[in-house]
Amino acid sequence: MTASHVSVPAGLIERTAKTALVRSGALPENAGPVARAMARAELEGNRVCGLFYLPIFCEHLKCGKVDGLAEPAVTTKDAVTTVDALHGFAHPAIEAGLSHLAQAARNFGVAAMAVRNSYNCLALSHHVTPLAECGLIGLCVSNAPASVAPPGAKRAIFGTNPLAFAVPRGDGAMIVVDQSMSAVTKTEMLMRRERGEPIPLGWAQDGNGAPTTDPAEGLLGSLLPGGGQKGANIALLVEILAAVLTGSRLSTEASPLGNNEGGPPEVGQFLLAIDAGHFGSGHFAASVGRLAESFAEAGIRTPGQRVLGSGQDWSSASVEIDQGLWQRCLDLAG
């Protein structure tokens, strides 16, 4: 523990976040999955999806950008599941349809779920690891308020539009990838601005489309896609699946997730589940195992080794939290 940080058990982080969300107007059953996701992200070292957002979520509950009382509406037909989040939190909405999605994948081999009128879903890996844990390949994409400009554009067209997938290895482990299509997350830009730290060239541009190392100028301008035009093309695919296909707002139409301006953002998420057993090779687990071994032989770890299992009991494990942020969370929880 450093002078500016305090060591906090993950279970206490989860309880504190849940209490704060309930005090701000969320039902306990809606606050619970969100609080658990924040604690899990902190423990995984994914600070940009953790407690940083608790004060923002509490403000959004109070001003009406997210409805803490919403009960997701689930509709199923064959291999398709649709969920209307009804302006509530993304986590209970996705959880409400996940068992239907998994069962449909077992029945048909491939199944999909569309979530509309949704909100910030934080770490996408948390929505696909339950699928991998039950033997399915899981993929999830989400759009977000516009903050990323394709190469040559002076204004943002896409959100950070993250994509995550999880693949079961057959030995109890998983391959997990979770990344945004921007060169950096917007949350990291906000944290750099708060700390007064510069950003590397290639992360963002100012309002005139010129490269910048100033996070404040980059936030006034736009982020840049990771991988240039290739990243922008994948962001476009995410936009089509998460926004257009689900019937949600385009990134250019969604209200900001970082302040109280505008009404509910109404972004969308799209999930795909695949049962490899329907494809007849019979060698899926062995092949994924050999693929993972090739990473070890090359001296690197397979992606996702720091991602926790959704059913793990990690409540007693501790994590260092910025002391000022933790005190603010405690204040919100009363």
DSSP character string of 292-314: HHHHHHTT-PPTTTTPPPTT---
Amino acid type, 132: A
Structure confidence at residue 191 (pLDDT): 86
Determine the pLDDT at residue 3.
62
Residue 37 has pLDDT above 60, yes or no: yes
pLDDT in tens, 48-62: 899 999 999 999 999
**pLDDT of 60-81, one tens digit each?**
999 999 999 999 999 999 999 9
Q: What is the mean pLDDT of residues 206-229?
A: 94
Pairing relationship of beta strands 73-77 and 174-179 according to DSSP bridges: unpaired
Contact 52, 84 (CB under 8 A): no
Rg (CA), the chain: 20
- In contact, 96 and 72? CB cutoff 8 Å: yes
| Closest CA relative to residue 119, chosen from 227, 295, 267 | 267
Enter the pTM of the model.
Answer: 0.94
Give yes or no for a contact between 93 and 87, defined as CB atoms under 8 angstroms apart. Answer: no
Task: Answer with the residue of higher pLDDT: 312 or 100.
Answer: 100
Residues in contact with 129: Cβ distance below 8 Å, sequence separation at least 6, in sequence order: 138, 166, 174, 176, 307, 309, 310
pLDDT tops 80 at residue 2: no
CA–CA separation, 106 and 133 (whole Å): 14
Amino acid type, 52: F
> Does pLDDT of 157 surpass 70?
yes
**What was the pLDDT predicted at 186?**
83
Domain chopping of the chain, boundaries: 5-182+225-280+316-332, 185-224
Provide the CATH topology of domain 5-182+225-280+316-332. Answer: Ribosomal Protein S8; Chain: A, domain 1 (3.30.1370)
Is 185-224 a CATH 3.30.60.50 domain?
yes
